[in-house]
Amino acid sequence: MTTVLITGFGPFPGAPFNPTTPLVKGLAKLRRPALAEVKIVTHIFATSYAAVDSELPRLIARHRPDALLMFGLAPCARWLRVETRAQNTLALLPDVGGTALRSRAIAKGEPAALAMPAPARRLLGAARAIRLPAALSRDAGRYLCNYLCWQAALAARKGPRIAAFVHVPNIARTPRRRGKERRFTLDDLTQAGGRLLAEIVAAARR
Protein backbone atom coordinates (compact mmCIF):
# COMPACT_ATOMS: atom_id res chain seq x y z
CA MET A 1 0.00 0.00 0.00
CA THR A 2 1.31 3.41 -1.01
CA THR A 3 0.23 6.35 1.14
CA VAL A 4 0.07 9.89 -0.24
CA LEU A 5 -0.69 12.95 1.86
CA ILE A 6 -2.38 15.64 -0.24
CA THR A 7 -2.67 19.13 1.22
CA GLY A 8 -4.14 22.50 0.37
CA PHE A 9 -4.70 25.80 2.13
CA GLY A 10 -7.71 27.74 3.32
CA PRO A 11 -8.39 31.43 2.63
CA PHE A 12 -5.84 34.12 3.39
CA PRO A 13 -5.75 37.93 3.26
CA GLY A 14 -6.57 38.98 -0.29
CA ALA A 15 -7.88 35.51 -1.23
CA PRO A 16 -11.25 34.81 0.43
CA PHE A 17 -11.66 31.74 -1.79
CA ASN A 18 -8.82 29.26 -2.14
CA PRO A 19 -9.37 26.71 -4.93
CA THR A 20 -6.91 24.27 -3.39
CA THR A 21 -9.55 23.36 -0.80
CA PRO A 22 -12.09 21.92 -3.29
CA LEU A 23 -9.21 20.58 -5.41
CA VAL A 24 -7.88 18.44 -2.55
CA LYS A 25 -11.36 17.23 -1.68
CA GLY A 26 -11.93 16.27 -5.32
CA LEU A 27 -8.68 14.34 -5.55
CA ALA A 28 -9.68 12.28 -2.52
CA LYS A 29 -12.63 10.94 -4.52
CA LEU A 30 -10.69 9.85 -7.61
CA ARG A 31 -10.96 6.22 -8.63
CA ARG A 32 -8.43 5.19 -11.27
CA PRO A 33 -6.42 2.03 -12.00
CA ALA A 34 -3.20 3.98 -11.34
CA LEU A 35 -4.44 4.65 -7.82
CA ALA A 36 -5.19 1.04 -6.91
CA GLU A 37 -3.61 0.06 -3.60
CA VAL A 38 -3.16 3.74 -2.74
CA LYS A 39 -4.23 5.28 0.54
CA ILE A 40 -4.98 8.97 0.12
CA VAL A 41 -4.89 11.21 3.18
CA THR A 42 -6.04 14.81 2.74
CA HIS A 43 -5.57 17.88 4.88
CA ILE A 44 -6.36 21.57 4.54
CA PHE A 45 -4.02 23.86 6.45
CA ALA A 46 -5.25 27.11 7.85
CA THR A 47 -2.99 29.67 6.20
CA SER A 48 -0.91 30.16 9.31
CA TYR A 49 2.63 29.42 10.38
CA ALA A 50 1.41 27.76 13.58
CA ALA A 51 -0.81 25.37 11.61
CA VAL A 52 2.05 24.23 9.40
CA ASP A 53 4.43 23.90 12.35
CA SER A 54 2.08 21.80 14.46
CA GLU A 55 0.06 19.86 11.89
CA LEU A 56 2.62 18.78 9.30
CA PRO A 57 4.80 16.78 11.75
CA ARG A 58 1.69 15.28 13.34
CA LEU A 59 0.28 14.19 9.98
CA ILE A 60 3.57 12.60 8.94
CA ALA A 61 3.97 10.80 12.26
CA ARG A 62 0.41 9.50 12.20
CA HIS A 63 0.09 8.42 8.57
CA ARG A 64 3.73 7.80 7.56
CA PRO A 65 3.12 8.84 3.95
CA ASP A 66 5.43 7.71 1.17
CA ALA A 67 4.90 11.04 -0.59
CA LEU A 68 3.50 14.52 -0.08
CA LEU A 69 1.57 16.32 -2.83
CA MET A 70 0.93 19.89 -1.73
CA PHE A 71 -1.05 22.62 -3.46
CA GLY A 72 -1.13 26.36 -2.92
CA LEU A 73 -2.74 29.36 -4.60
CA ALA A 74 -0.73 31.89 -6.61
CA PRO A 75 -3.45 34.52 -7.24
CA CYS A 76 -1.65 36.30 -10.08
CA ALA A 77 -0.42 33.18 -11.88
CA ARG A 78 -1.84 32.14 -15.25
CA TRP A 79 -0.45 28.62 -15.28
CA LEU A 80 0.43 25.74 -12.99
CA ARG A 81 3.81 26.10 -11.34
CA VAL A 82 5.72 23.01 -10.21
CA GLU A 83 8.04 24.29 -7.50
CA THR A 84 11.59 22.97 -7.50
CA ARG A 85 13.09 24.90 -4.56
CA ALA A 86 12.10 26.20 -1.14
CA GLN A 87 13.67 29.55 -0.30
CA ASN A 88 15.06 30.19 3.17
CA THR A 89 13.40 33.57 3.35
CA LEU A 90 10.15 35.24 4.40
CA ALA A 91 8.36 38.45 3.48
CA LEU A 92 7.19 39.09 7.07
CA LEU A 93 3.58 39.22 5.90
CA PRO A 94 0.90 38.38 8.47
CA ASP A 95 -0.88 35.05 8.15
CA VAL A 96 -4.62 34.54 8.43
CA GLY A 97 -4.39 34.92 12.19
CA GLY A 98 -2.41 38.16 11.97
CA THR A 99 0.88 36.54 12.94
CA ALA A 100 4.07 37.52 11.13
CA LEU A 101 7.39 35.84 11.87
CA ARG A 102 10.10 38.19 13.04
CA SER A 103 12.99 36.93 10.95
CA ARG A 104 13.47 37.13 7.19
CA ALA A 105 15.15 33.70 7.33
CA ILE A 106 13.08 30.61 8.01
CA ALA A 107 16.06 28.81 9.55
CA LYS A 108 19.26 30.64 10.43
CA GLY A 109 22.40 28.73 9.55
CA GLU A 110 20.65 26.69 6.86
CA PRO A 111 21.28 27.01 3.10
CA ALA A 112 19.63 29.78 1.08
CA ALA A 113 17.42 27.20 -0.60
CA LEU A 114 16.50 23.53 -0.46
CA ALA A 115 15.67 21.42 -3.49
CA MET A 116 12.20 19.94 -3.45
CA PRO A 117 12.57 16.14 -3.44
CA ALA A 118 10.16 15.47 -6.28
CA PRO A 119 10.21 14.34 -9.94
CA ALA A 120 9.56 17.88 -11.15
CA ARG A 121 9.97 17.28 -14.88
CA ARG A 122 7.69 14.26 -14.81
CA LEU A 123 5.09 16.31 -12.98
CA LEU A 124 5.44 19.06 -15.54
CA GLY A 125 4.90 16.56 -18.33
CA ALA A 126 1.85 15.15 -16.57
CA ALA A 127 0.23 18.60 -16.40
CA ARG A 128 1.06 19.45 -19.99
CA ALA A 129 -0.29 16.11 -21.21
CA ILE A 130 -3.80 17.51 -20.88
CA ARG A 131 -2.76 20.76 -22.60
CA LEU A 132 -2.83 22.99 -19.57
CA PRO A 133 -0.17 25.70 -19.34
CA ALA A 134 2.45 24.71 -16.79
CA ALA A 135 6.07 25.52 -15.96
CA LEU A 136 8.82 24.69 -13.52
CA SER A 137 9.47 27.34 -10.89
CA ARG A 138 12.53 28.07 -8.77
CA ASP A 139 10.76 30.58 -6.54
CA ALA A 140 7.85 29.49 -4.33
CA GLY A 141 7.39 33.03 -3.01
CA ARG A 142 7.94 34.35 0.48
CA TYR A 143 4.70 33.39 2.18
CA LEU A 144 3.04 30.28 3.61
CA CYS A 145 3.42 28.21 0.44
CA ASN A 146 7.16 28.65 0.50
CA TYR A 147 7.19 28.07 4.26
CA LEU A 148 5.39 24.74 3.79
CA CYS A 149 7.79 23.83 0.98
CA TRP A 150 10.72 24.42 3.33
CA GLN A 151 9.26 22.40 6.19
CA ALA A 152 8.28 19.56 3.86
CA ALA A 153 11.73 19.45 2.27
CA LEU A 154 13.24 19.16 5.74
CA ALA A 155 10.74 16.48 6.75
CA ALA A 156 11.64 14.46 3.66
CA ARG A 157 15.15 13.95 5.02
CA LYS A 158 13.78 11.42 7.51
CA GLY A 159 10.19 10.85 6.42
CA PRO A 160 8.44 10.78 3.03
CA ARG A 161 11.10 10.69 0.33
CA ILE A 162 8.94 12.63 -2.14
CA ALA A 163 7.57 16.10 -1.40
CA ALA A 164 6.04 17.98 -4.32
CA PHE A 165 4.46 21.41 -4.28
CA VAL A 166 2.33 22.86 -7.07
CA HIS A 167 1.05 26.42 -7.24
CA VAL A 168 -2.29 26.79 -8.98
CA PRO A 169 -3.87 29.93 -10.45
CA ASN A 170 -7.18 31.35 -9.38
CA ILE A 171 -10.14 29.80 -11.11
CA ALA A 172 -13.36 30.86 -12.75
CA ARG A 173 -16.26 29.75 -10.55
CA THR A 174 -18.15 28.86 -13.74
CA PRO A 175 -16.59 27.99 -17.13
CA ARG A 176 -16.12 31.14 -19.15
CA ARG A 177 -13.70 32.97 -21.39
CA ARG A 178 -12.43 36.46 -20.92
CA GLY A 179 -11.42 37.78 -24.30
CA LYS A 180 -8.99 35.30 -25.81
CA GLU A 181 -7.70 34.16 -22.43
CA ARG A 182 -9.19 30.96 -21.12
CA ARG A 183 -9.37 30.88 -17.34
CA PHE A 184 -8.76 27.71 -15.37
CA THR A 185 -11.75 25.95 -13.86
CA LEU A 186 -11.96 23.58 -10.92
CA ASP A 187 -12.41 20.74 -13.41
CA ASP A 188 -9.12 21.74 -15.07
CA LEU A 189 -7.33 21.67 -11.74
CA THR A 190 -8.86 18.33 -10.79
CA GLN A 191 -7.84 16.75 -14.09
CA ALA A 192 -4.30 18.07 -13.71
CA GLY A 193 -4.21 17.07 -10.05
CA GLY A 194 -5.22 13.53 -10.94
CA ARG A 195 -2.34 13.29 -13.40
CA LEU A 196 0.07 14.71 -10.87
CA LEU A 197 -1.14 12.29 -8.22
CA ALA A 198 -0.69 9.30 -10.54
CA GLU A 199 2.87 10.43 -11.31
CA ILE A 200 3.62 10.86 -7.60
CA VAL A 201 2.35 7.35 -6.91
CA ALA A 202 4.48 5.92 -9.74
CA ALA A 203 7.56 7.73 -8.41
CA ALA A 204 6.93 6.49 -4.86
CA ARG A 205 6.77 2.92 -6.15
CA ARG A 206 10.00 3.06 -8.13
Beta strands at 67-73 and 162-168: parallel, antiparallel or unpaired: parallel
pTM for this model (two decimals) = 0.93
Q: What is the mean pLDDT of the chain?
A: 91
**Does residue 181 register a pLDDT over 90?**
no
Q: How far apart are CA 52 and CA 145, in angstroms?
A: 10
Bridge partners for 45 per DSSP: 9
pLDDT band at 13 (very low <50, low <70, confident <90, very high): confident
- C-alpha 30/C-alpha 43 separation (Å) is 16
CATH number at residue 42: 3.40.630.20
- % of the chain exceeding 70 in pLDDT: 95
Residue 184 has pLDDT above 70, yes or no: yes
Q: Which domain holds residue 27?
A: 2-205
pLDDT in tens, 86-126: 999 988 888 898 988 878 899 988 999 999 999 999 999 99
Buried b (16+ CB within 10 A) or exposed e, 20-51: bbbbbebbeeeeeeebeebebbbbbbbbbbeb
Q: How many Å apart are CA 184 and CA 75, to the nearest integer? A: 12
* Structural domain count, the chain: 1
